[in-house]
Amino acid sequence: MGKPTGFLEYERKSSPAIPPKERIKNWEEFHTPLPEKERTIQASRCMACGVPFCQAGADIMGRTTGCPLHNLIPEWNDLIYRGNWREAYRRLRKTNSFPEFTGRVCPALCEVACTCNLGGDPVGGKETELAIIERAYREGWAAAEPPAVRTGKRIAIVGSGPSGLSAADLLNRRGHNVTVFERFDRPGGLLMYGIPNMKLEKRFVERKLKILEEEGIRFVTGADVGKNVKADEILADHDRVLLACGASKPRDLNAPGRDAEGIFFAVDFLRENTKALLDSDFRKAGSINAKGKQVVIVGGGDTGNDCLGTCIRHGAKSVVQIEMMPKPPEKRTDDNPWPEWPNVLKTDYGQEEAIEVFGSDPRIYETTVREFLKDKAGKLRAIRTVRLSWETENGRRVMKEIPGSEQELPCELLLIAAGFVGAQDYIAEAFGVQRDNRGNIATAPGEFGTSVTGVFCAGDMHTGQSLVVKAIRQGREAARAIDLDLMGYTNLIVQ
């Protein structure tokens, strides 16, 4: 512990955010990092607890609290307080392949678990992580380090999102020849096309991809395995295959009028938006644009919020966000104590921006779409909603419509951000792997090998929709399993 009384002497400070009405004028990240002196003070707040819940990554009451990567957070804080940033980077690199990503998009599970929550505000683990990795880039510590020896073994990874990239990182460091296949025109998967630029600037993704290439990883884009690239060819040309294609099959809304023009899945909307930004800086607008439109977003999670912030930057006339669940309480309830994940109201950046631009919170709770209403040309003009009530039947909470609660909302563009229901069918079918009852690729509990010898699976394709930080952990563990299966032993350390 660098300063035993730090948590008593100093208040938490976070990187200040650019005001909403200013930041919506562009697509850049909008937090200004704290000066190094202040970051050192913030690191001194860490108590170096005897039991560091921040790095536990434990599931409590169905939610994860603490870092799933088991990042050595108290060690970083002590090292930064003492001015040893390079060693802090070494410790960070041991557990996390991509702190430049998690330091920007992770919901900070470490901070939720911080013991300082009991009597005050948590230590800023997420911002410390980002400060370490950005210092490492500036100093040259994060430069490419190709392996000195190659094993001659060939591994194919299908999918270049966080799980595929983290597996590629470790397997390449081990000395295997790794080829990553990506169906879109740029590698990065969710990191490139699923998260908008103001949340994760693509120059940082491209920076890391360039280093991975310099270290020997080969990327093949436009390779839609199972369609324009045959699975049999992948299997024949490689010693092992890892499927890391994500849970990219979106949950749909089946209501009358679903065929109306103007209804899109959020994942398509966000991808089109980022592609338009990267291809032409919006000189050619994306095919799905919210400018001047009355927009409704169905889904209250992170993806729905990202759609909200994107629509505001497009210049939408209005935006409403519909959520089936009840509005969470503003403070923890007695049945939701620390260190459980706090089931409390979260107003994210997109909602903050909507409140500033439109004057009110865009969210409508306990509501769903009853019908899509079309004009004479078949275009979406409005939706009919119905309120919901949550009741208990046979010990289970069930959702019921409230009679007479229908309401019509004007809507010219509707974005479905209601989650995902598993992996794309054609990929699983191409490799002949078995699936579980949730649509994910099936493996033995706690393992990564599929029903097909030599084919492994990791990330959301394995677990269902989850967090970037968990996908990274999945990829690292899968890399270790592949290395062990391929070589008969492994020296890969994933935590």
Domain map of the chain by residue range?
6-139, 154-248+421-487, 263-416
Return the number of other C-beta atoms located less than 10 Å from residue 200's C-beta.
23
**300-303 long-range Cβ contacts below 8 angstroms, 24+ apart:** 300/324, 300/325, 300/363, 300/365, 301/417, 301/419, 302/107, 302/348, 303/194, 303/266, 303/267, 303/270, 303/417, 303/419
At residue 494, the pLDDT reads 83
CA–CA separation, 190 and 303 (whole Å): 11
CA–CA separation, 365 and 132 (whole Å): 39
Q: What angle do CA 179, 183, 186 make, to 5 degrees?
A: 80
Any idea how long the chain is?
Answer: 495
Give the contacts of 210 (CB within 8 A, at least 6 positions apart): none
At residue 395, the pLDDT reads 84
> Is CATH 3.50.50.60 the classification given to domain 263-416?
yes
At residue 182, the pLDDT reads 98
Question: Matching CATH topology for 154-248+421-487 and 263-416?
Answer: yes
Half-sphere exposure of 179 (CA within 13 A, CB side): 17
Q: State which H helix or E strand residue 42 sits in.
A: helix 36-43
Question: Which fold is adopted by the domain 6-139?
Answer: Fumarate Reductase Iron-sulfur Protein; Chain B, domain 2 (1.10.1060)
Any alpha helices (H) in 175-301, and if so which ranges?
202-214, 231-237, 266-280
Q: How far is CA 56 from the centre of its chain?
A: 20
Half-sphere exposure of 305 (CA within 13 A, CB side): 16
| Residues in the chain where the model's pLDDT stays below 50 | none
How does strand 407-410 pair with strand 318-322?
unpaired
Return the number of other C-beta atoms located less than 10 Å from residue 82's C-beta.
15
Cis peptide before 339 (omega within 30 of 0): yes
Question: Which fold is adopted by the domain 154-248+421-487?
Answer: FAD/NAD(P)-binding domain (3.50.50)
Helix (H), strand (E) counts: the chain: 17, 16
At residue 3, the pLDDT reads 86
Across the chain, what does the average pLDDT equal?
96
CA–CA separation, 495 and 389 (whole Å): 44
Q: State which H helix or E strand residue 351 sits in.
A: helix 349-358
At residue 371, the pLDDT reads 98
**Whole-model pTM over 0.85:** yes
At residue 286, the pLDDT reads 77
At residue 65, the pLDDT reads 93
